[in-house]
Amino acid sequence: MAEILIAIQIIFSIGVGLFVMSLLKKGRFSVIRMQIQLARGKIGHWPRELRPLGVVLAPWMPLSNRLAQGSSQVKRALLTLGFHPQFDDREFSKMRITLAAITVLIGVLAVFYCVVVMGVGSLQWGVVGIGVASVMAFYLPQLKLFEVYQLARGRISRAFPSFLDVLSLTLESGQNFQSALQMSAQRLPESRFRSDLRGQLQEVLREIRAGESRILALQKFSDRLGLPEVTQFVASVSAAERQGVSVSALLRRQAEQLRSSRALSAERHAMKMPVKLLAPLAICIFPCTFLVLAFPIAIRLSHSGLF
């Protein structure tokens, strides 16, 4: 039986080699290159990190058009992270479905080759592995997206009180709101993340220069992030514009309120730490301490002849 399998593998390898040589001889690799170029054209709006994967997925993604479903949370996360508008929630859903389907196909071929051809492993564990791999291929991109989105929201939330202070100072110096917003965005530290507060404010300024109203651009900024402090900031600016009052005092009070709420939040987390440390102390530290203390006592009692 082993000799037959080895002969099959040799014949298969020779066949693949002859097929590749025929492609090289007839110049059909130009067709493959053309398909790769077409795939790159379809994924030109994808993030740079996902384009190598998109070259593989692009020819098969039209098959998942009917199964793809949009999601408002995914759309908000993609917009916040600064992805291309064409790389929307439906495109992201098609990518996940296609990735899971290709994972199932590769898994089936691998299980067939290992179990049927080579006689290695069991079919039941192969099916379980295919199921786990396909579920991971479907859900891991969305979990990673939401993780990066939450990190971006945390960075924006930490930088927002300082931005409000700079904005209120700039407004008190006599600048109008758009100029003050631009100067405050330029004073923010540069970051390698496009989704940080500086990038979000630059997007707001681009929308205002493109002709949108100030309140509408700020409202889109608030909808993208979904942070309470940003929503309150937009509401304060909108109310000040309607009522014709100065917005600098409102922004300064909001910055002070954000700092005090952050300090209270830090105190709450500090008060929860003793409770969270009880389990590690009881499971890891206390038993080791008791063993260290009880071992010399047990040695002395054994030498004394009491036991």
pLDDT reported for residue 21:
59
pLDDT reported for residue 31:
47
Per cent of the chain over pLDDT 90 is 0
Boundary-marking domain end, from 136, 152, 168: 152
Q: Is the same domain home to 86 and 138?
A: yes
For residue 192, the domain's CATH number is 1.20.81
Task: Assess whether pLDDT exceeds 50 at residue 285.
Answer: yes
In a domain, 22, yes or no: yes
pLDDT reported for residue 12:
53
Determine the average pLDDT of the residues in 106-132.
78
Greater confidence (112 vs 6) lies with 112
In a domain, 140, yes or no: yes
Q: Is the same domain home to 125 and 183?
A: no
Determine the average pLDDT of the residues in 221-244.
82
pLDDT reported for residue 266:
77
Determine the average pLDDT of the residues in 205-232.
85
Start-to-end C-alpha separation, the chain: 65
Task: Assess whether pLDDT exceeds 70 at residue 27.
Answer: no
- What pLDDT band is residue 39 in, cutting at 50, 70 and 90? low
Task: Assess whether pLDDT exceeds 80 at residue 85.
Answer: no
Write the CB contacts of 96 (distance below 8 Å, at least 6 apart in sequence).
137, 138, 139, 141, 142
pLDDT reported for residue 194:
63
Owning domain of residue 249: 153-261
Boundary-marking domain end, from 132, 152, 172: 152
Task: Assess whether pLDDT exceeds 80 at residue 137.
Answer: yes
pLDDT reported for residue 15:
55
CA dihedral 113, 114, 117, 119 (to 10 degrees): -170
Q: Is the same domain home to 251 and 225?
A: yes
pLDDT reported for residue 1:
45
Q: Is the same domain home to 32 and 96?
A: yes
Q: Is the same domain home to 193 and 257?
A: yes
With contact defined as beta carbons under 8 Å apart, do 48 and 61 qualify? no
Task: Assess whether pLDDT exceeds 70 at residue 41.
Answer: no
Q: Which residues of 201-212 are buried (b: 16+ CB within 10 A; e: fewer)?
A: bbbbeebbeeee
Task: Assess whether pLDDT exceeds 50 at residue 5.
Answer: no
The pLDDT mean for the chain works out to: 77
Q: Is the same domain home to 158 and 147?
A: no
Q: Is the same domain home to 139 and 30?
A: yes
Residue tagged 């409770």 (tokens): 275
The number of distinct structural domains making up the chain is 2
